[in-house]
Amino acid sequence: MKEENAALDPGARAAAEQKARKAARDASRKTGAEETTAEKGAIAPPWERGAEGIELVDTHAHIDGEDFDGDREEMLDRAKAAGVVAVVTFGDTMESSARCVALASSHEAVFAGVGVHPENAFPLSQAEEDRLAAWTKEKNVVAIGEIGLDYYWEKDEEKRALQRKMFSRQLALARDLDLPVCIHDREAHGDLMTILKTEGRKNRGVIHCFSGSWEMAKELLKLGWYIGIDGPLTYKNAAKLPEIVEKMPADRLLVETDCPYLSPLPYRGKRNEPAYVRITAERAAQIRGESIEALAAQTTKNARMVYGL
């Protein structure tokens, strides 16, 4: 793969590598399919269970991609029927950011973030940075994201350095524009905290799909960050997540899907979609000893606060 790509220009090479990573990620998404079958109980999908008194926001989705090309409008209808009043969809490349902006402008309940994901890091030109800034003036565009650090997929030190550079630049852009950011952090907790405590001190926003410890969560809360929780909360190997959800101050908790990835049980291994945020919210409510209605109301209030929906 590497040698084959060496002949390509940087842009084409980045695209080829991105494609390889997507394939690996799709494959890893499929693991857990056995658990799906075993866990499939009698519970109907969220959109068939009524949503009276439930108002949720899926605060982190990727609904612009080809996974939803066959049924995007139906998928949004199902979300609405499940009580999801808004979806925030994030770009992970320039191309997907453009698609997210278009979706936000054509759908009242869809909001967008624009940015370049660390897995797709490349040396951003001034023209591209200007384009990101211009997109934030469009209808329902509310954040810079998804940005951050991913040391799980990226083992190369030089490319990790490029990720940090891209992250810093996009944090600075968000400060200039006075917008919140949505941050991805996978196996990069140390560098992330260093950046947030220094140059990121004046940024605000969400650490999405949180995967750190309660100690790290406490530090983030002290710095003013919101924390997003996803489908893995429902997994048997949810590790520290239930403890974190239990201890989280109510006014900083967000629920999200990160669809099409990370489906909650009993859909693990299948395509995720915004309606399933209700399943993660129900599990969070159960852990916190609250009603789904109360947890939905609080997390939706938080979503409106951080993203200004």
User: 230, 209 in Cβ contact below 8 A?
Assistant: yes
Residue 278, C-beta contacts closer than 8 angstroms, at least 6 positions apart: 46, 51, 54, 56, 82, 83, 84, 292
- Measured from the CB atom, is 146 or 273 closer to Zn ion? 146
The 3 state secondary structure assigned to 62-92 is CCCCHHHCCCHHHHHHHHHHCCEEEEEEECC
Binding site for Zn ion (CB under 5 A): 146, 258
Pure H helices in 2-122: 2-6, 10-30, 33-39, 72-81, 94-106
Cβ proximity to Zn ion: between 118 and 269 the closer is 118
User: What is residue 184's DSSP assignment?
Assistant: E
Residue nearest to Zn ion (CB): 258
User: Residue length, the chain?
Assistant: 309
Q: Write down the least CB distance from residue 254 to Zn ion, Å.
A: 13
Question: Could you tell me the smallest distance in angstroms from the CB atom of residue 92 to Zn ion?
Answer: 7
User: Quick one: 62 or 164, whose CB is closer to Zn ion?
Assistant: 62
Query: Smallest distance from the beta carbon of 258 to Zn ion, in angstroms?
Result: 5
Residues 6+ apart with CB under 8 A from 7: none
Q: At closest approach, how far in Å is the CB of 120 from Zn ion? A: 12
CB of 186 to Zn ion, least distance (A): 10
Question: 280: Cβ–Cβ under 8 A, 6 or more apart, which residues?
Answer: 229, 230, 231, 233, 234, 255, 256, 257, 264
If the CB atoms of residues 208 and 288 are measured against Zn ion, the closer one turns out to be 208
Residue 67 or 258 having the CB closest to Zn ion: 258
Q: C-beta of 207: minimal distance to Zn ion in Å?
A: 12
Distance from C-alpha of 61 to C-alpha of 210, rounded to nearest angstrom: 14
Q: How far is the CB of 231 from Zn ion (least distance, A)?
A: 12
C-beta of 58 vs 146, nearer to Zn ion: 146
Whether residue 205 contacts residue 306, with contact meaning beta carbons closer than 8 Å, is answered with: yes
148 vs 288, which CB is nearer to Zn ion? 148
Q: Is 237 helix (H, G, I), strand (E, B) or coil?
A: coil
